[in-house]
Structure formats: structure tokens, C-alpha cells
Amino acid sequence: MVLRDYLPPALRGLMVAAFLAAFMSTIGTQLNWGSSYLVNDFYKRFFVRGATEKHYVLISKLFTVLLVLGSGYTATRLASINQGWQLVLNIGFGTGAVYILRWYWSRINAWSEIVAMAVAALMTMGLSRVPFSGNDTLVYAKTALITGFVTTIAWVIATFATHPESDATLIGFYKRVHPTVYGWKRIAKLVPELPEVRDVKANAFNWVMGVILVYGCLFGIGKLVFGQWIWGFVLLAMAGVAGYLIFWDLSRRGWTTLSGKDITVGAASAVEGD
């Protein structure tokens, strides 16, 4: 007996409606996000800069249609939902490093990310046609590692082959985000009024605890839904401990230090965590 067996038919119908609403919400969000990205960060930046807002709205509608057609075609080529997840995860595996390092290394520019996305997508689609040996898990591991390796080489080459972002752009980003100083030392010297932040260890700890919190809740609730009570409560307990440790660490360091507003030069070491 699982949780869904206790639900009356009306509530089951409500759950189906909620799932469909969540699905449409996700689709709408992804289409709007994709169109916004393509217009503001690609089309407007590299092709047409001085057009009217009416022009950009029209282009965003065209991009939305193209995204729907492209996603529809991709869906017809997939044999299962699992294959779709593997496609998304492989692309994410290739681009993950540059998305994370852009917060820690000032040399990364727009072309780094564009090349990473393009190469990861091409590698994922190309390797899907290569007959690897082994079970599904082994095949996925091989394709993910190859995609990540080739994509990393490609975006690193693109980073050093293209010009870095202007100092004005980097200074503006540094002032707003106040990132860890290790990869931003040159920019930090241009903004001496801001103290240097060295909080890699503390942030890494909160990151690990955050992963445990999210996946503990996700899989814990799933276990409860399917009647696996022991594992469900164990995972939820782990998530609760992780959430408490995040709260404890941020309370100890000071919540407002996350924005850098309350960090003074003399107190910089208090948030270093290194």
C-alpha cells in the first residue's frame, strides 16, 4: 500500500491537474528564458545593437517559435524520457565547469560560454550515434566524460584566443557580486575600497550541505510516496541536518555578509573561512 492508494479520486484528479500546470509552467519558463537569452545576450549583443524594443520583441517571438520547433523535433528523436535526461545531463556536464568558474575567474568571457554550449551540444548529439560497448550506465559515463573533456579544451582555447571583457564590465561585476578574490586579483587592485573576500571553504561547505538538503528532500519525499518509510525518513532527517548546518554557518558568519555590505577591511578575515 502506497500513499496514492489512500487518495480519493477527486484528489487524484487534482494532483494530475497540478502536474500538468507545473509542466506548462516549466515549458513557458524555459521558452521565455531561452528567447530572452538569445535576444539579449546573443542577437542584441553581437548582431543588432541599436534597434527599437518593438524590433527585439518581434525577434523574441521568432526565437520562441524556433525553440518550440527545435524542441519538438528533438522530442521525436528520443526513444524514452531517460534518453532525454541523458541528453540534458551530457550537455550540462560539458558546460558546468565554465558556468561555475565564471564566478571565480575574471578571464572567462562571453565567447567562453558560447563555445562551451555549442561544443557540448555538438558532442552530445554526435556521440549519441556512436555505438559504445557496455550497459546503459557505462555508455552514459563514457559519453559524459568525453563530452566534458572535449568541451573543456574547446572553451579554454576560446578564452585565451579572444579578448577578455573590458575592465569597466569586470569592475562593475566585481562591485555587484564581490566574488572570492583568487581569480580576481587584478580587478581587486582596481577597487581598493572593497576588502578582499576569501570564503571558498565556507561556501564549499554550504554547497555540499545544500546538495544534501535538496536531494534528501527530493528522494526522501519520493520514498514516502512509494511507501518506503524507513528510507524516506532517513533521507529527510539527513536533509534536516544539512539545512540546520547551513543555517548555523550563515548565522555564525553573518547573513548580511553574503552581499558584502557589512564587510569591513578589518573584518574581512571573519568571512574568509580559509
Q: What confidence score (pLDDT) does residue 108 get?
A: 92
What is the CB-side half-sphere exposure of residue 82 using CA atoms within 13 A? 3
Q: 43 lies in a domain?
A: yes
* Residue 1: domain span: 1-77
Which of the listed residues 147, 165, 183 is the one where a domain comes to its end? 165
Asked if 15 and 89 sit in the same domain, the reply is: no
* Measured CA distances, 67 to 23, 33, 38, 82, 255 (Å): 17, 11, 10, 21, 40
Q: What confidence score (pLDDT) does residue 265 get?
A: 40
Q: What confidence score (pLDDT) does residue 2 get?
A: 47
Q: 176 lies in a domain?
A: no
Query: Any idea which of 133-142, 203-212, 224-233 has the lowest mean pLDDT?
Result: 133-142
Q: 186 lies in a domain?
A: no
Query: Taking each helix axis from N to C terminus, what angle separates 136-161 and 110-127, rounded to the nearest 10 degrees?
Result: 150
Average the pLDDT over 242-259 and give the result: 82
Q: 26 lies in a domain?
A: yes
Asked if 234 and 246 sit in the same domain, the reply is: yes
Q: 11 lies in a domain?
A: yes
Predicted confidence band of residue 61 (pLDDT cuts 50, 70, 90): very high
Most confident stretch, 25-29, 79-83, 136-140, 222-226: 222-226
Average the pLDDT over 218-227 and give the result: 92
Phi, psi dihedral angles at 160 (to 5 degrees): -85, -15
**pLDDT exceeding 70 applies to what percent of the chain?**
89
- Whether the predicted pLDDT of 9 surpasses 80: no
- Whether the predicted pLDDT of 124 surpasses 90: no
Asked if 73 and 87 sit in the same domain, the reply is: no
Asked if 44 and 83 sit in the same domain, the reply is: no
User: Any idea what DSSP says for residue 38?
Assistant: I
Q: What confidence score (pLDDT) does residue 199 get?
A: 80
- Whether the predicted pLDDT of 254 surpasses 80: no
Which of the listed residues 165, 187, 207 is the one where a domain comes to its end? 165
Asked if 100 and 59 sit in the same domain, the reply is: no
**pLDDT exceeding 90 applies to what percent of the chain?**
39
CB 87 within 8 A of CB 78: yes
| Mean pLDDT of the chain, nearest integer | 84
- Whether the predicted pLDDT of 26 surpasses 70: yes
Asked if 205 and 252 sit in the same domain, the reply is: yes
Average the pLDDT over 241-267 and give the result: 72
Most confident stretch, 135-139, 141-145, 262-266: 141-145
Asked if 121 and 133 sit in the same domain, the reply is: yes
Q: What confidence score (pLDDT) does residue 154 get?
A: 95
Q: Which three cell numbers stand for residue 228?
A: 518506503
Asked if 87 and 157 sit in the same domain, the reply is: yes
> DSSP of 111-143, one letter per residue?
HHHHHHHHHHHHHHHHHTTS---S-HHHHHHHH
Predicted confidence band of residue 139 (pLDDT cuts 50, 70, 90): confident
Asked if 144 and 130 sit in the same domain, the reply is: yes
Q: 184 lies in a domain?
A: no
Q: 185 lies in a domain?
A: no
Q: Which three cell numbers stand for residue 250?
A: 550563515
Encode 120-144: b = buried (16+ Cβ within 10 Å), e = exposed.
bbbbbeebeeeeeeeeeeebbeebb
Average the pLDDT over 130-151 and give the result: 87
Average the pLDDT over 246-272 and give the result: 62
CB proximity list for 250: less than 8 A, separation 6 or greater: 206, 258
If one counts the domains in the chain, the total is 3
Asked if 204 and 143 sit in the same domain, the reply is: no
Asked if 93 and 128 sit in the same domain, the reply is: yes
Q: What confidence score (pLDDT) does residue 256 get?
A: 65
* Measured CA distances, 213 to 29, 216, 224, 236, 238 (Å): 24, 5, 16, 8, 7
Q: 71 lies in a domain?
A: yes
Asked if 50 and 91 sit in the same domain, the reply is: no
Which of the listed residues 44, 77, 110 is the one where a domain comes to its end? 77
